[in-house]
Structure 1
Amino acid sequence: MKPACTTATAADGFYRQKNRYFAVVSTVRPFPSVLFPGRNPGENAEPEFFRDLNLDQIVDAVTAGRDEYDLRPFFYAPSADCAEVRYRHEVLRDVRREDVRACVDEFARRMREVRKQQETSGKLHYEKQKQRWFLDAVESYCATVASLRAQLGECELSSPALRGLREFLSGYLRSEEYLALVADTRRCREDLARIKYRVHIRGLRVDVRRYTGESDYTDEVEKVFARFKQGAARDYRVQFREDADMDHVQAQVLDCVAKLFPDAFQRLRDFCARHRGYLDPTVARFDREVQFYLAYLDHMRRIEVSGLAFCYPELSPDSRDIEVADAFDLALAGKLVSERVPVVRNSFRLTGDERVIVVSGPNNGGKTTFARMFGQLPYLAGLGLPVPAASARMFLPDRVFSHFEREEHLATLRGKLDDELVRIREILAKATGGSILVLNESFASTTLHDARFIGARVLEAVLRLGACAVYVTFVDELAALDEAVVSMVGAVAPEDPAERTYEITRRPADGIAYAEAIAAKYGLSYDTLRRRIAR
């Protein structure tokens, strides 16, 4: 019997790939960013108020499944510049169009494949196999960039950001560095594709030589056994697990091939060394930054199916008026929509000399949710994102502050009231007339007299600053402190005072919020008494 003899090409085997990005210094005029047209946001940590306003829950929901892009820092860098926010609005309007979205989604999919190939390259054990996977990653990258430019060329873009990106890509595809990268990639692939070799197996001996036209016995063997074929039969062949990494026998065969064709493999090594930083920084930046928009739009779509609306806020660099219609807490809405529970919407306004909303009313009536919504709206507006409301007119705050109840910590050696006073003093020292303050159930741990006195002093300080604030409290008298203070009250069902509607309406405080708190404290609330009577 003749020993087995097979032929193969180097282009057919030893690869599959993926790794991390390497930056390269581009000679093409750089395009700045689709997020930050005129600034470098630097490194940003999660703001102190984030968890008070449940913004961390919003970011968790928005970025779920996109960990590879590290999007969280983008949500920590709002802008107070109306021009930058409008710049993002224009990008969003473009990306929401089906043709542009399809183009960007295809680019993102192909870039994920590039990363997958390069990551695999970094994980493999055998150097020649790593190099071939790297070559495939570069080839995929070149094709991806060219495809993005071609597809963007077919879209009518209105945003300066995406038009600028398209112009950048046009220049990049004509640049010496890109043309050299494409040419080197093609040359290496063609060199490998021309390699043909034969493997001669006799017992435990494997002989690798150049292919010189020897016969391939595959067709001959199939013809011999064809006469015994009796139709479809069960396949008894063992299915081997397909693994990217070679085993030691394949690696030894490849080493032998490399010795037979040293020039091709030397060029492959040189290619990997020369183009280690093949990924253009602008392309990499767009790949990451555009996910900020896609992630939020996808989250919006999940919310909008329930009938809730988002809008692009109308922004003013001069006016401090705020008018919002049918707004909702985005963090809470994300949970309720998934549970098919209706979401209550609220409207509010601060116009003219009005600066502070004092919210009172029964416990568990939606006051804290309203306060969180009040803080979420301007923050999301500063990120250049559509806000959860039917309509919104507002200003961009320079900073957002929150003052929520905290548990006592032994490390501070301060009681609860003392800690609240220290924190509010720090907030008032940092706040300006362009700030937003969210004060929720502040000083509830003290007596009514002290809560009224401290609350009045705090609100007076806020009014002197000219900042806008919402103040949730059981002290109804604070709602009539000044003409710049607006009273809003949590509503209950007219037919059943124990049933909360979660609507916060603009009207004078009814004077029963503190009474209800006292009654609840001593077990004399309406619900408690009704349960006792029912027994």
Structure 2
Amino acid sequence: MTFDSILFRDGRAADTIDGASEPEFFGDLNLDQIIDSVVHGRDEYNLKPFFYVALTDIDSISYRQEVMRDLERDEIVTVINTFAAQMRAMRAELGVAAKLYFRWQKRRYFLDGVRTYCAAIVAFARDLEAAAPRSSGLLAFMEYLKAYANGPEFLAIKEEEARIRDALAQIRYSVLIKGNAVTVRKYAGEIDYSEDVQKTFEKFKQGKVKSHSTEIRDYPEMGHVEANVLDFVARLHPEAFGPLDEFCNAHAGFIDPVVERFDREVQFYVAYLEHISRLKGVGLSFCYPEVLDVSKAIRSMDGFDLALAEKLRREDARIVCNDFYLEGDERIIVVTGPNQGGKTTFSRTFGQLHYLAAIGWPVPGREARLFLFDQIFTHFERQEDMKNLRGKLHDDLYRIHRILGRATTRSIIIMNEIFSSTSLKDALYLSQKVMGRIMELDALGVYVTFIEELSCLSAQTVSMLSEVQHDAISSRTFRVLRRPADGRSYALSLARQYRLTYDQLTERIGS
């Protein structure tokens, strides 16, 4: 029975995953913050590289979604978590063995690690089958695990470890201490008088007495006297210590590489499910998106920024959800509206949803239909960098030219408040050129801007507007709605706030 990876249908992809680096757009979309929150407390697994590689075909995404659905079942995830705890215990024992100095103590900790591993494998194979997984990934691994647990190599290690442990448990020896001399010899049936002494002096005990017992701390590291005693015991019992030495040398790499890979990779799913369970607990929805590889008729209902949602959850604040959709020839969502109204958050949500879908995860929202991209490109405003000797506008143009030179018809492009350092006339001219190129590519994108004319540039553009309550400009709803840009309503709200409407001015002049 063969099995490669619980993350990839093709195990060759898993072999190269550790060479992956963080994509350029992670910082702009706050995906780096999301990943940090998800993997918190799981440093030993080195999970971050798994998040840096998006999948490129729908079958691979379906493979992960099936596994994720399995792991949402309590009986499955409980088995996985129990196995993970046992594997952590094994690694702890092997870690101690690696740090210790004295030979036989190192050997014993290694033997303990093997025992923990063997017990974990046996229990995992039994319990996983009883939990009855349904996904093709977990079913394939379960069959591999059963074959491995019943295979001759594993059974031989398990039985040999048990024999050595039993042999060591039978050893009895005596230690004679006289002055500075310590003598170790085989146990010769000497009588243990400690219980008799206790009984003899029990009758002299009067009331509660002060204890003079001293706590002996159990440090993992042995002292040199203890180590020498153990060396003498090993010489007296070569029939037990000899096989122990041979066993440790012969089975230094006893962990099955497929099981070891599974133990690491499955945390990719478990960590995310634990993360979103906290958000589900405050009423937020997640769904398995339909992923499109031809049509660009995308849709999201009640989507939200996952990084912001976690921040607000910790602050016990409410997250605002938004909808979007594109149909027909529509490709670019142009978002306008007042500052601090949720425009940038909306653009991040758009990118996050597509990326999370492309790594096989459930995405924020009640419903989602998303496009399988080849690349994501982002351009968010940055402070001027004096080191590159380029001005703000020059740097914007340089970065945009680089994006448009690499983008394809399958790319997603997210532009956020570009050309803010130039005049309105120049910003409009440059933005029209940039959007024209994106429309030529027929690429999907979000364009956040203060220039309302861009929202009706062509049939490929869709206007969405961040909503403001008309009675108080300081009150943002953070809702981004699909409707024509109307800067006049925003101006009217400003005028009302500062009592500058026609009626208010007339009233003030008249009084």
Interval containing the TM-score (normalised by the shorter chain): over 0.9
1:362 matches 2:338: yes
> What secondary structure sits across from 1:52 in the alignment?
helix
Which residue of 313, 320, 325 corresponds with 1:337?
313
Structure 1 pair 290/233, CA: closer, same or farther in 2 (3 Å)?
A: farther
1:449: how far off? 0.8
Residue identity in the other structure for 1:85: I
Give me the TM-score of the superposition, normalised by structure 2: 0.94
Paired with 2:285 and 2:402, the residues of 1 have a C-alpha distance of 36
Give me the whole-angstrom Cα distance separating, in 2, the residues matched to 1:377 and 1:135: 47
Residue range with higher mean Cα deviation, 311-320 or 62-71 = 311-320
Q: Which residue among 383, 392, 396 is the counterpart of 1:407?
A: 383
Pair 209,367 (structure 1): closer, same or farther in 2 beyond 3 Å: same
Q: CA deviation at 1:525?
A: 11
CA displacement at 1:388 relative to structure 2: 0.6
Which digits, 9 at most, give the CA deviation of each residue in 1:393-429, with x for residues without a partner? 1121111110011222233211111111111111111
1:241 aligns with 2:217: yes
> SS of the residue aligned with 1:401?
strand
Matching residue of 1:37: 9
Q: Distance in 1 between matches of 2:191 and 2:323?
A: 83
User: CA–CA distance in 1 between the matches of 2:499 and 2:30?
Assistant: 31
Residue 309 and residue 87 in structure 1: after superposition, are their counterparts in 2 closer, same or farther (change >3 A)? Answer: same
Give the CA deviation at 1:235: 3.6
Q: Is the 1:474–1:513 Cα contact (8 Å) retained in structure 2?
A: no
Q: Where does residue 299 of structure 1 map in the other structure?
A: 275
Letter aligned with residue 199 of structure 1: V
The equivalent of 2:242 in structure 1 is: 266
| Alpha carbons of structure 1 residues 217 and 54: separation in structure 2 relative to 1, 3 Å | same
CA, structure 1 residues 527+339, in 2 after alignment: closer, same or farther (shift >3 Å)? farther
Task: For 1:403, give the aligned amino acid.
Answer: H
SS of the equivalent of 1:79 reads coil
Q: Per-residue deviation at 1:529?
A: 9.5
Q: Say yes or no: does 1:160 pair with 2:136.
A: yes
Q: Secondary structure at the match of 1:501?
A: strand
Instruction: Show the counterpart of 1:135.
Output: 111
1:46 aligns with 2:22: yes
What is the RMSD computed on CA atoms of the aligned residues? 2.0
Does residue 1:374 correspond to 2:350, yes or no? yes
Looking at structure 1, the residues matched to 168 and 499 of structure 2 have their Cα atoms a distance apart, in angstroms, of 82
Measure how far apart 1:511 and its partner are: 3.0
SS at match of 1:169: helix
The answer for the alignment partner of 1:8 in structure 2 is: none
Partner SS state of residue 440, structure 2: helix
1:208 aligned partner: 184
* C-alpha separation in 1, matches of 2:65 and 2:500: 53
User: Shift of residue 317 of structure 1?
Assistant: 2.4
SS of residue matched to 1:497: coil
Question: The residue matched to 1:352 in structure 2 has which SS?
Answer: coil
Q: Does 1:193 align with 2:169?
A: yes
Give, in angstroms, the shift of residue 195 of structure 1. 1.4
Letter in structure 1 aligned against 2:341: G
| Separation in structure 1 between the aligned mates of residue 335 and residue 207 of structure 2, nearest angstrom | 82
Q: Distance in 1 between the 2:429 and 2:295 partners? A: 31
**1:328 correspondence with 2:300:** no
Report if the CA contact (8 A) 2:373-2:411 is conserved: yes
- Note if 1:229 corresponds to 2:205: yes
Q: Is the 8 A contact 1:30 1:282 kept in 2?
A: no
C-alpha displacement at 1:513, in angstroms?
A: 9.7
Gaps of 5+ in 2: 502-507
How far apart in 1 are the matches of 2:273 and 2:20? Answer: 23
Q: Return the offset for 1:262.
A: 2.2
Aligned to 1:76, which of 41, 52, 69? 52
Asked if structure 2 preserves the Cα contact closer than 8 Å seen for 1:475 and 1:513, the reply is no
Pick aligned residue for 2:417 from 441, 447, 450: 441
CA shift in 2, pair 1:139/1:487, >3 Å = same
CA distance in 1 between counterparts of 2:202 and 2:287 reads 70
> Could you tell me whether the CA contact under 8 Å between 2:4 and 2:258 is conserved in 1?
yes
| Aligned mates of 2:421, 2:3 — CA distance in 1 | 54
User: Contact conserved, 2:468 with 2:490, CA < 8 A, in 1?
Assistant: no
Q: Deviations over 1:46-74 (max 9, x none)?
A: 00000100001100111111111111011
1 or 2 for the larger relative contact order (CA 8 Å, sep ≥6)? 1
> Aligned pair count?
497
Report if aligned partners of 1:361, 1:513 keep a CA contact under 8 Å in 2: no
Pair 1:438–1:195, CA change in 2 (3 A): same
Aligned equivalents of 1:349 and 1:203: distance in 2?
Answer: 88
C-alpha distance in structure 2 between counterparts of 1:82 and 1:513, whole Å:
44
One-letter code aligned to 1:505: L
Letter paired with 1:34: I
Instruction: Indicate the residue corresponding to 1:472 in structure 2.
Output: 448
Runs of 4+ in 1 over 6 A off after TM superposition: 513-516, 527-530
- What residue is the counterpart of 2:505 in the other structure? none
Higher mean displacement: 410-419 or 44-53: 410-419
Going by fraction, where is helix more abundant, 1 or 2? 2
Alignment map for 1:6-25 (pairs within 5 Å): none
What does residue 427 of structure 1 align with?
403
In 2, Cα distance between equivalents of 1:529 and 1:176: 87
Residue 125 of structure 1 corresponds to: 101
160-169 vs 312-321, which moves further:
312-321
